[in-house]
Chain A
Amino acid sequence: MRFVIRRFLLFVAALLAISVVIFAALRILPGDVASVMAGLNAPPERVAQLRSQMGLDRPLTVQYFSWMGGLLHGDFGTSLLTGRSISSTVAMRASVTFPLIVLGLVVALAIGLTLGVVSTLSTHAAVRSVFHFVAIVGGAIPALWGGLLLILLFGRGTGLLGILPSQGFPEAGWDNFGSALTSLVLPALTVGIIDGASLMRYTRSALGEVMNSGYMDQAMACGYTRRQAALKVGLRLATPQLVSVVGLMFAGMITGVMVIENLFALPGIGAGLVTDLGNRDLIAVQSELFMLAAFFLFVGFLVDLLHRFLDPRLKHAVQGGAQ
C-alpha cells in the first residue's frame, strides 16, 4: 500500500511539474490569440484591449493559479477564440480518439502477441525468418502510407473493394453507433497493423529470452512439453516486459494518431490540438497538452502498479529498503 501511495504522490508531483512546463513554454511562443483575433494589421491598442479582455495582461502567477484552480474543479477553461467550454470540446474529441486508440491497441495486441508467440515457438528456421521479415517491414511502414493503402483497398467510393468509410465521423457521434464504429475500422487497422508489427518483435524478443532461461528447463523438467511451458510459464514471465511496451505504446498512441486523424478526417484530440495551436488559443492548447501529459503519466503509474503485481521479485527486492 505504501508503494501505491508513493507512486501516486510521484504521479501528482510529475503532473504539477509538467503543468508549469506547459504553461511557461506556451508563454514563450511568439504571438498570442489576441493578435490572431485582431488581425495582422490591427493597431497595438486594439491588441492590448483584447489581451486585457481575455485576462492575458494579468501577472503570470495569477494566470497559472487561476488555470490550475479551474483544473482542480474539472474546469478546463473557455476557448479564447470560440468562447466554448474547453472541457466539452475535449470530451467530444476524446470520444473519437479514445475508442480509436483502444481499437488500435486491440488490433495491435491480436496481431503482435499471436504472431510473436507463433514465430517464437516455430521449430522451422524458414518460418521464423519470414515472421522476422514481416515484423521489420510492418514496423517500418509510415502511418500515412499504410493508411492510404488501406483507403485504396477498402475505402468506400475510392477503394477497390469499397466496403468501409474512409473519411469523417458521424455528426451524431456514438448515438449513431454502427456508423461511428465503422468509421474507426480503417484508422484502427492502420494504427494496429503498424504497432502490431512492432509488438510482434517485442513479443519474440521477450518470449525468446524466457525460452532460453532456466525457468523453462525447470518447467519442462516438471512435465510440461516445450509448447505448454512456453504458453503457461513463458508468456506469464514475459508479461511484465510486454506490459511496459504495451503501456508505452498505448500512451504514445494518443498523440501518435494525429496523422491518422488528419488522414481520415476524424475530429479527434490530435487533429484538434494542431488547429488550436495554429490559432494560438493558449488556454485551449495548455489544457489539452496537460490532459495528454496526465494521460501519459497515468498510464505509466498503472504500468508501475501492474509490474509490482505481476512480479513478486520486485516487492521482495526492496523489502527492508526504501519501499
Chain B
Amino acid sequence: MMGVDVNKLGISIGGKSIVRDVNVHIGDGERVGLIGSSGSGKSMISKAMLGLLPINAQTEGSVILGDTQVVGADETVLAGLRGRYVGAVFQNPASSLNPVLTVGKQIELPLKLHYDLDKADRQARVSAMLEKVGLDATVAKKYPSELSGGQQQRVGIATALITSPRLIIADEPTTALDSITQRQIVDLLVSLVDKAGASMLFITHDFSVLARATTRCYVLDGGRIVESGNTADLLEHPQGEQTKKLVAAARELTLQRKQNRDD
C-alpha cells in the first residue's frame, strides 16, 4: 500500500509562484480528486508527485510517497519509483504515447525497466493487460497512430497498470475524449484501480467526471487549495465561489450532453 502526504507544497518557475501552501493526503486504496480550472496548478502538483517538474522549477515543502521524500530526491530514486510503485496516465495519449514504439513494446517498457523477466513472460503479461483494458491482443503489434483516441487511452492505462503500482496519478485522462468514451475510460480506470487495491489521484476540471472517479476531492484555485471534502457533498453543496463555478459548469455540461443524446 502507498499513501501520499503533500505538505506545504510550493512550486515556482522563473520567480513566478504557481502553487502555494498545498496540503493533500491520499490514504491507502483511496481515490482522491484534484479539481480546478485551467492554469490553477493541478498538473504541476501531479508533476511534483512524479518528480517530473521542469528543471528550472523551484520547490518547497514535501511530497511523501510511502516512505520516500520526492522533493529534492535523486533522479535515480525517482526513476525507481516511477513505473514501479507509481503509475501515470496522461491527458492526451496522442502526444504522450511514444509514436515510434508499437503498443506492445510501450506497455512492456515498465516491466523491462523494473523487473528481470524473460521476453515470453513479459509478452504474456502484456496480452493479459490488453485484455483487462478491453483491447484485442493483436493491438500489441500496432502503433498508437493506428488507434482511436479511446483505444490510445486504454493503452495509456495498460502502461500505467502493467506493474501493479500502488498509486495511480491520472492527470486529466479523459479531457481529450468524447463524452461516451470519457465515461468508459473513467469506469475502466476505477474498476482496475479498485481491483488492484491501489490508491489514485484523479485530476480534472470536470466535476461530473470527478463524481464518477473519486470519493473525496480537493478544489484548487490560483495555486491554492480552497475547499476539500466528500466529492458527492461538494457537488451538492458547494461552499466557495470557485467550487460553485465548477459545479455550475459541470451541470451545464451534463445537461448539454443529455440534450445531445436526446437529439
Chain A positions within 8 Å of B, measured between CB atoms, are 123, 125, 212-215, 217-228, 233, 236-237, 310-313, 316-317
Contacts and interface: CB of A to CB of B under 8 A. Distances in A.
Interface stretch (B22-30, B78-86, B252-260): B78-86
Interface centre among A212, A226, A227, A310 (most CB of B within 10 A): A226
Q: Classify the secondary structure of B's interface with A.
A: mixed
Nearest to B79: A225
B109 A222 contact: yes
Contacts of A220: 50-52, 79, 82
Contacts of A219: 98, 109
A316 B84 CA distance: 32
Q: Classify the secondary structure of A's interface with B.
A: helix
B52 A223 contact: no
B145 A215 contact: no
Nearest to A219: B98
B75 A223 contact: no
Contact of A223 (B55, B83, B90): B83
Contacts of B97: 215, 218
Given A218-B90, A221-B82, A312 B96 contact: no
Interface in B25-53: 47, 50-52
B149 to A, nearest CB: 14
B103 to A, nearest CB: 11
Contacts of B88: 217-218, 221
B20 interface: no
Contacts of B98: 215, 218-219, 233, 237
A214 B90 CA distance: 8
Contacts of A237: 98-100
A236 B82 contact: no
Contacts of B76: 225
A313 B143 CA distance: 8
B173 to A, nearest CB: 12
A215 B83 contact: no
Interface of B: 47, 50-52, 54-56, 75-76, 78-80, 82-84, 86-88, 90-92, 95-100, 109-110, 113-114, 143, 145-146, 156, 159-160
Nearest to B78: A225
Nearest to B75: A225
A182 B124 CA distance: 56
B12 to A, nearest CB: 16
A312 B105 CA distance: 14
A215 B95 contact: yes
B50 A221 contact: yes
A231 to B, nearest CB: 13
B187 to A, nearest CB: 23
Nearest to A125: B56
B56 to A, nearest CB: 8
Nearest to A312: B143
Contacts of B86: 221
Contacts of B156: 218
B99 A312 contact: yes
8 contacts: A218-B88, A218-B159, A220-B82, A221-B90, A222-B82, A223-B110, A237-B98, A312-B99
Contact of B79 (A224, A310, A316): A224
Nearest to B97: A218
B75 to A, nearest CB: 5
Contacts of B146: 316
A213 B87 CA distance: 18
Contacts of A215: 95-99
B96 A223 contact: no
A3 to B, nearest CB: 16
Contacts of B109: 219, 222-223
Contact of A214 (B87, B92, B145): B92
A51 to B, nearest CB: 59
A221 B145 contact: no
Contact of B145 (A123, A213, A317): A317
B96 A217 contact: yes
A311 B52 contact: no
Given A217-B47, A222-B159, 17 more contacts: A123-B55, A214-B90, A214-B96, A217-B96, A218-B90, A218-B159, A219-B98, A221-B52, A222-B82, A222-B83, A222-B113, A223-B83, A223-B84, A227-B75, A237-B99, A237-B100, A317-B145
Contacts of A228: 79
A236 B76 CA distance: 22
Given A221-B83, A225-B79, A316 B96 contact: no
Contacts of B80: 223
Given A225-B76, A312-B99, A217 B52 contact: yes
A228 B156 CA distance: 20
A43 B142 CA distance: 75
A112 to B, nearest CB: 22
Contacts of A223: 79-80, 82-84, 109-110, 113-114
Contacts of B110: 222-223
B2 to A, nearest CB: 15
Interface centre among B56, B80, B96, B110 (most CB of A within 10 A): B96
A311 B82 contact: no
B155 to A, nearest CB: 11
